[in-house]
Structures are given as C-alpha cells and as structure tokens.
C-alpha cells in the first residue's frame, strides 16, 4: 500500500470541500428548488455527501438542470 | 414532490424511536464494558478500550441485523410497518456506532506504529503484523465504506438528486455490507481467539435475516400466483381499504357497464350494486348510517352485509364478493342474487394511508 493513494483521497476531499461550499452558497437553490431558502442545518446535513460525491453535483450544476420547480420558498406547511 | 427541505424530519413518533435506540446503545455499551471488566478465572481483564471496540462493533451489527429484519417483517404483518418509516434513523445510528468502532480500532491497533494508520490497516495481516492471517479488517473497512455512502446520502435531497433508481441501487448494497461484516466478525473473533460464541451468534443472526427474506419471498410468490389466478377469473382490483373514505364508497365501473359501490364502515368493507331499488339512485354517492348504506336521493337503506333493507322493510339489492390481498381489495364482477349475505372484508385500521407518510420509502 502506498501513501500516494491516501494523498489522492485527501486531495479529492479538499476539492470536494471547496466545490461543496460554492454549490451550497450559489448553486443549490437553482438546481433543486426544494432547497431554496432551506436552513443552514439542512445545508450541513448534506455537506458530507457533497464532499464525497461532488463530481456528480458539479455535473448537475454545470448542466443547468433544475428539479422540484413546483415548490415555493417559504412553503413549509 | 413535497416540501422545502429540512435538516432532519422529526415527528413525535420518530423522536420516541430515536430516544429508544440511543438508550439501548448506551445501556448495551455500558453493560458490555462493565461485565467485561470483571476479572475472569484466568485473572487477566481485557483493556477497556478493547471492550469499547467490541461493544460498539457488536451493537452496530445488532442494529443492522434488526434493520434488515424490518423489511420482511413489515411485509409479513402490518404491525411492523411503523418501523419501516424509522429505518432511515436506525441506519444513521448504526453508522455512527460503526464509526466509533472503526475509529477506536484504527487508533488502538494502528495508531501507535511508525506507519500511517490506514497503511498499517492494509499490511497488518502480513506475517508479523498486528493480525497476521486473514485480512478481516479490510472486509470491515469495505462494509464501513458502503455504510458511509448510505449514511451521507440518506437525506431526501440525495434521493431526488441522485434519482430514485441510483439511490435505491446504492442502498441495496447494504446486503453486501452485511455479508462482509459476517465474515469480518467471524474471522476477527477467530483471529483474536475469543470464545466461539461470536461466530455462532453472527451465524445465527445471518440465518434469521436470510430466512426471513426467503420466507417473504416465497410468500409473495404465492400471493402473486393467487392474484394472477384471480385476475384470470376476471376479478377487478379496487383500491387499498384505507383509501376508501370512512362511511363512504368508491364506485367501480365493470366491463359490462354495471357499477359497483364498495363501501367502508370503520374496518369493514362490503360491495353492493350502485343502483338503488327505489328510483335507481347512485348508492355509491351515499353514506353508511348505523351500518346501513343510505341512498343519497330519498334515503332508502340497505344493510352492508346482505343488501337487505332493515325491518320492517324487505327491499333487496345485489351484493358482490370481495377479497383482500397484499393490502388491495379485489372484486368479483359476478353479482350475487339480491339479499345474499357476504361477510365484510376486515382490515387493520391502524395502518396509515400511504399518502399520509411524508417519508420516502423506496424499498
Ligand atoms: C460497519 C462496520 C463494522 C462493524 C459493524 C464491525 C463489527 C465488529 C464486530 C461485531 C466485531 C466482533 C467483536 C470482536 O471480535 O471483538 C468486530 C471486531 C473487530 N473489528 Fe470491526 N466492524 C466494522 C468495521 C471495522 C473496521 C473498518 C475495522 C478496521 C480497523 C474494524 C476492526 C475490527 C477489529 C480490530 C476487531 C477485533 C477487535 C478485538 O477483538 O479486539 N472493524 N467488528
Ligand atoms: S333512489 Fe334511492 S332512495 Fe330513491
């Protein structure tokens, strides 16, 4: 086993942290309307997943695809 | 697709279950460590850290076993259905316990050497390593990684954004993880020379989980065959009994233009023709009053169970036969002679309507 693999994993996760924070701040509300106006606790809940699965989410973000358009911000009934 | 996201979906029921699980884990770990610290006949007591590692590991495995039993149990009996809606929280607990086990084991067995702990984990099964022989820790790690990905994608956001099929495929990996863990524990216990109790218990748990899945699988195949046989004979599926509003009916059109009113009164369901004897009023738009179907037009009444007007009246309408299968009501399109008594279909009312449950249960 080589330490370089470990370093690669760490680098991947560091990139994940950067992309995730950017996505949570600027991308998520457009990509998934159910996240519009959702609280900081929700954002922290999905953060671990974002850090590991960031390539999928980055692809989604760049593609401009949106889901859950029928949900309006503040509609928390 | 529902509402704006929240961090964690809690309701009273879920909070109760979560508290129960947390208390169980706390109690289990406490008892495990305290009893383990009692000096044995040989005089050597295990290190408390090792006891904690074992306590967290076994507790996590127990919880996972329990989670995997919920699915088949809920299909065998509606009583277990509420647990289905708490599986997600159980799963995250299981993962947290596994993390404690993994973290402590990594620190304790691999944290003090010259190697990076993760590197040490992969080489420790070589001769001269901490656990020479079978690499049971690597299997544990593989299972842990699967559970990690399940835990971090457990929020609805991931169900929506990964798409349901991908999400479900990912979460079906739990069975792979379970298999890996069975070997991890059996082999680990053998290597660390503990009592054969561990492999025996793990095998027992595994057999229960596998047996339950086999049982429900066979049962469902039987049900499917029966349902197909019913449909071949022309029976019509109506709806889940819970989806009929209480004291009301759903109207089922038959192929020959006939209409049938399927009424629900509490936990009883009966079917009669939709046509009132008086002036052909639409019975299915009426209500059940005192156990009698009451026509919306002029109030004529018929008993649910036999379609006969309560005394002193003697009017009769046709009844139909029903069957409840897999939570679905089936209707025999062949009418009984007017006034034929048919025992109502009974169902368990405590089971909620699917639509009343906000949590996604892709299972
Ligand atoms: C989902 C994850 C895991 C579960 C549920 C789990 C569960 C268990 C169980 C029930 C035991 C048996 C107790 C015993 O033999 O002492 C055990 C032993 C052990 N596991 Fe895990 N395990 C997991 C992952 C891991 C990982 C990733 C490692 C890697 C460091 C690991 C390291 C160990 C070690 C070193 C033992 C032997 C401990 C001892 O006897 O002192 N486990 N595990
Ligand atoms: S048509 Fe039913 S009561 Fe008159």
Q: Which residues line ligand 2 (CB under 6 A)?
A: B 276, 278-279, 281, 295, 297-300
- Residues B335-359 as b or e (16 or more Cβ within 10 Å = b): bbebbbebebbebeeebeeeeeeee
Q: What is the pLDDT of residue B357?
A: 43
User: Which residue, B352, B57, B35, B282, is CA-closest to B181?
Assistant: B57
User: How many C-alpha atoms does A55 have within 13 Å on its Cβ side?
Assistant: 2
Q: What is the pLDDT of residue B53?
A: 94
CA dist B14 → B17, B67, B78, B210, B304 (Å) = 5, 15, 18, 27, 38
* Nearest-by-CA chain A residue for B150: A49
User: How many C-alpha atoms does B230 have within 13 Å on its Cβ side?
Assistant: 22
CA dist B231 → A55, B166, B345 (Å) = 48, 33, 18
DSSP reduced 3-state for A73: coil
Question: Mind telling me how many Å the CA of B137 is from chain A's nearest CA?
Answer: 15
Count of residues making up chain A: 77
Q: What's the start-to-end Cα distance of chain A, in Å?
A: 53
**Contacts made by residues B126-131, CB under 8 angstroms, sequence distance 24+:** B131/B188, B131/B191, B131/B192
Which mutation among B300, B309, B310, B313 tests ligand 2's pocket best, with the greatest number of atoms within 8 A of CB? B300
ipTM > 0.85? yes
How, if at all, do strands B268-273 and B259-265 pair?
A: antiparallel
Architecture of domain B12-219: Up-down Bundle (1.20)
The ligand placed nearest to the CA atom of residue B151 is 1
Mean pLDDT of chain B: 87
User: Which residue, B324, B362, B316, is CA-closest to B343?
Assistant: B324
**Number of CB pairs < 8 Å for A and B?**
81
Tell me where in chain B the CATH 2.102.10.10 domain(s) lie.
236-361
Gap between the Cα atoms of B217 and B209, Å rounded: 12
What's the predicted TM-score (pTM) here? Answer: 0.74
pLDDT at B187 over 50: yes
Burial class, A15, CB count within 10 angstroms (exposed 0-12 / middle 13-18 / buried 19+): middle
Among B2, B116, B158, the residue with its CB nearest the CB of A3 is B116
pLDDT at B177 over 60: yes
pLDDT at B64 over 50: yes
Architecture of domain B236-361: 3-layer Sandwich (2.102)
Query: Averaged over B157-178, what is the pLDDT?
Result: 93
Give B236's pLDDT tier (boundaries 50, 70, 90). Answer: confident
Among B3, B153, B157, the residue with its CB nearest the CB of A32 is B157
Give B194's pLDDT tier (boundaries 50, 70, 90). Answer: low
Tell me where in chain B the CATH 1.20.120 domain(s) lie.
12-219
CA dist A19 → A26, B19, B120, B171 (Å) = 10, 35, 31, 25
Ranges under pLDDT 50 in chain A: 73-77
Question: CB–CB of B157 and A73 under 8 A?
Answer: no
Question: CB–CB of B4 and A38 under 8 A?
Answer: yes
């Amino acid at each position: 086993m080589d330490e370089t693999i470990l370093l690669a994993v760490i680098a991947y996760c560091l990139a994940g942290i950067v992309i995730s924070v950017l996505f949570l701040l600027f991308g998520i509300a457009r990509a998934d309307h159910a996240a519009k106006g959702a609280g900081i606790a929700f954002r922290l809940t999905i953060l671990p997943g974002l850090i590991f699965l960031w390539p999928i989410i980055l692809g989604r973000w760049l593609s401009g695809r949106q889901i859950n358009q029928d949900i309006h911000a503040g509609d928390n009934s | 697709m529902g509402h704006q996201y929240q961090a964690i979906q809690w309701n009273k029921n879920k909070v109760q279950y979560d508290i129960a699980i947390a208390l169980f884990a706390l109690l289990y770990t406490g008892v495990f460590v305290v009893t383990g610290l009692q000096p044995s006949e040989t005089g050597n007591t295990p290190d408390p850290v090792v006891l904690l590692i074992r306590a967290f590991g076994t507790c996590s495995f127990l919880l996972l076993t329990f989670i995997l039993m919920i699915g088949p149990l809920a299909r065998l009996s509606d009583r277990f259905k509420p647990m289905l809606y708490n599986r997600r929280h159980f799963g995250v607990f299981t993962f947290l316990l596994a993390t404690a086990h993994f973290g402590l084991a990594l620190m304790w067995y691999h944290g003090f050497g010259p190697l990076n702990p993760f590197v040490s984990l992969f080489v420790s099964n070589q001769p001269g390593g901490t656990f020479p022989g079978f690499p049971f820790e690597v299997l544990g790690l593989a299972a842990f990684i699967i559970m990690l990905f399940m835990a971090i994608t457990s929020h609805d956001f991931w169900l929506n954004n990964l798409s349901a099929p991908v999400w479900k495929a990912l979460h079906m990996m739990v069975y792979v993880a379970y298999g890996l863990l069975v070997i991890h524990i059996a082999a680990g216990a053998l290597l660390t020379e503990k009592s054969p109790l561990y492999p025996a218990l793990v095998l027992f748990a595994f057999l229960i989980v596998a047996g339950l899945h086999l049982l429900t699988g066979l049962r469902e195949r039987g049900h499917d065959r029966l349902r197909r046989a019913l449909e071949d004979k022309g029976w019509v599926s109506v709806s889940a009994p819970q989806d009929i509003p209480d004291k009301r009916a759903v109207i089922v059109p038959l192929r020959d233009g006939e209409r049938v009113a399927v009424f629900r009164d509490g936990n009883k369901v009966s079917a009669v023709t939709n046509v009132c004897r008086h002036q052909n009023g639409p019975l299915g738009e009426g209500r059940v009053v005192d156990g009698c179907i009451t026509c919306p037009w002029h109030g004529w009444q018929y008993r649910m169970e036999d379609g006969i007007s309560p005394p002193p009246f003697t009017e009769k309408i046709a009844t139909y036969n029903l069957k409840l299968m897999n939570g679905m009501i089936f209707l025999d399109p062949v009418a009984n002679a007017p006034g034929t008594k048919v025992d109502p279909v009974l169902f368990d009312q405590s089971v909620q309507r699917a639509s009343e449950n906000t949590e996604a249960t892709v299972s």
